[in-house]
Structure 1
Amino acid sequence: MKRLILVLLVAVLGLAEAGTAYAQSTSGDRVLVAQEQPKRRTLFDLLFGDEPAAPAPVQQPRPQVQQAPRPTAALPPPKPVIEKAPNATRLAVFGDSLAIDLSRALERFYAEDQNLVVINQGVSSSGFVRNDYFDWNAAITKEIEANSFDLAVVIIGINDRQELSAEGQTHAPLTDGWNAAYQARINAFLSALRAARKPVVWVGLPPMSKTEYSAAIGQISALQRMAAFSGGAEYLDIYDRFLGEDGKYSSYGPDVNGQNALMRKDDGIHFSSAGSDKLAFYISQSIRSFYRGGTVSVAVADPLQGTDAASMLRPP
């Protein structure tokens, strides 16, 4: 009996291993259909069931590789703010918009000098012609009375090529009447400073990009030079120091470190930051006669000292 059962099981196993089956079509033709070859089953599978499928492999997550942050360029630490001494020398910068830029450059130049403080007294669009807009002679008298400064630096004139009205007359720019009235106003300005025993550095004007305008500014600088000499001021001529190698106007030139840099702004009139810093350096050399690290010499510079004209009778 056991042998019969074993034979029947083997027969069933043979039928299960058949590789093909027949299907009947609607027309009655037989079509041979290929079937997928199943897994070969053993007698053990028939008696005890199929072997359980192996579990799917578990994929381990790949570790995330963290990229090191890119190094960034560190900014230089800010310069420490130096507190000015209570008795620091007060350097006032008077003039037009050129004076405003110059005062900022002087602030940078003397930032670490606790014995000198820069006072910006520049007034944009001002000059010695339009005293109806801003009267510099009245302003300097007020500042002297207030004793608001110890040392004066003046740079002015880029707005002065225009008609000047004085004593009921109007003079065209740079005519004889204009020149006389213009120089008289500067003389009065410097006389007030000299009487108050305030040292003065008068800065001449630089070349300009437009030829006609530059020529007019050159004539104004010449009048200022004569007034400075007669008024006992130190005159700083900067014209040649801001020319190109060809002797003409140039927007570029050597900076305080000798490197070629932009010296002027796009308008061809004002200084760039590098140009203002260069001018501040020149002024620092000029005021050595008056400022020596915390003290100001009240001796007024006399351009005629050592000449035959020194003994001439001159107004105080």
Structure 2
Amino acid sequence: MRLATPLFRRVARLCRPAAIACLALAVLATGGLPVSAQDVLRPPGMVPRPPANVPQGGFNLFGGWTLFQPQRPQVEQAPAPKRPPPEPEGIVHGSADEAIQGKKQPPEKFVLVLGDALGAQLAQGLADSYVKDRANPAVIARTDDDLGLLPPAQGGGADLLARLPDAVSAAKAGATLIVLGSSDLRPIRDGDQMVEPLTDRWTELYGRRLDEVFTILRQKAPGVVIVGLAPVASAETSAQYEKLNDVLRTHAARAGLTFAPVWDGFVDEEGKFAPFGAAVDGQRRRLRLNDGVRFTKAGARKLAFFAEKDITRLLAEPKADAPGLVGPGGRPVLSLTDGPRGAAMLSGGAGPAQVIPAAA
């Protein structure tokens, strides 16, 4: 029996749009095809799938992402770390006249630093920190990498005593820091022989030289402070510096001079060399450069810190005529340690004498 009559085909054509509409309504009512079917029919990469941990909701005609996604919680960004304040930058002068020149309020007090490479860094540390917050004093530096306490005739480098008069005259200082010793660890000439450093004979000869130099410093330079050596990365050299510090301390005390130790500021809890440590601002900073000898700017300020107390004390004392010079009325300026002659004059001998403190 043939059903495909012209009448049937005509009726089928008329009913086809209605059937399609009914099918569409059925699809909408059931939420569309299953997800697996959607994945099969969808070309790869057409519509991204949502992350599994993001809940979906709302009406979606085509599957995949919903029209409205839940807002993700915003993560608070940590504030950017604050930049440390810029390093202070002081000025080290070559003379008092240079420090005064062009200043509306020129400094009235001066600190003289005589030393080697370590002395140059200490002078800059003083200029950066100690002087930064004060109108006074100005820092005057006379340094030489090869400067030491040994004379050239005994195997030393540049001669300190030869440079002392000009430095003292140019600085007009109220305090003098001596930062020397590291370049002295060399053989000393003893007649026709050279004596190795830190042997008993070397220590004896070096001690004699210290007594000579320290006596002249006390007579010619105001407010002398002998600054000790700091440890270095080399354990062997540090051990030598520690022994040399003992010699410097002993002979400074014998001459009535102040010794300023710096060692403990640059070692750890076990007494070993420490490239990092507490800076003068209380922060933990790098104090030494990679060579294990020189100082960073923070390290130089800490090095200067150990001399600040003595500098402040010396500059606060009443200014007296320089030791070894002639005082009022042509009388010599005497120290309390000048022996019987000074004692006789102080007890009513030949005229009045101007006295300087023993620790000056």
8 Å CA contact 1:84, 1:117 repeated in 2: no
| TM-score (norm: length of structure 2) | 0.56
Which letter maps to 1:128?
L
Matches within 5 A, 1:1-316: 83=103, 85-86=105-106, 88-109=108-129, 110-129=131-150, 131=152, 133-144=157-168, 148-166=172-190, 168-196=192-220, 198-292=222-316, 296=319
User: More relative contact order in 1 or in 2 (CA 8 Å, sep 6+)?
Assistant: 1
Q: Equivalent residue of 2:184, what SS?
A: coil
The 1:311/1:130 distance shift into structure 2, 3 A limit, reads closer
Determine which structure has more spread, i.e. the larger CA radius of gyration: 1
The 1:192/1:145 distance shift into structure 2, 3 A limit, reads farther
Q: Equivalent residue of 1:120, what SS?
A: strand
**Residues 187-221 of structure 1, C-alpha deviations (whole Å, 9 max, x = no match):** 22221121136111111111121111111111111
Q: Equivalent residue of 1:159, what SS?
A: helix
Between the two proteins, the alignment pairs up a number of residues equal to: 232
Distance 1:177 1:315 in 2: 34
The 1:93/1:247 distance shift into structure 2, 3 A limit, reads same
Question: Moved runs in structure 1, 4+ residues, more than 6 A?
Answer: 78-82, 297-300
Q: Equivalent residue of 1:174, what SS?
A: coil
8 Å CA contact 1:242, 1:249 repeated in 2: yes
Which letter maps to 2:261?
D
Which ranges in structure 2 are unaligned for 5 or more consecutive residues?
Answer: 1-82, 92-98, 324-335, 343-360
Distance 2:235 2:340 in 1: 38
Q: Could you say what the CA RMSD is over the residues aligned between the two structures, in angstroms?
A: 3.4
Which letter maps to 1:257?
D
8 Å CA contact 1:96, 1:124 repeated in 2: yes
Which letter maps to 1:230?
R
The 1:175/1:153 distance shift into structure 2, 3 A limit, reads same
Distance 1:136 1:194 in 2: 14
8 Å CA contact 1:140, 1:189 repeated in 2: no
**Residues 103-135 of structure 1, C-alpha deviations (whole Å, 9 max, x = no match):** 111112203422311011111132224625301
The 1:133/1:281 distance shift into structure 2, 3 A limit, reads closer
Alpha-carbon offset, residue 181 of structure 1: 2.0
| Identity fraction in percent | 27
Q: Equivalent residue of 2:303, what SS?
A: helix
Distance 1:273 1:287 in 2: 20
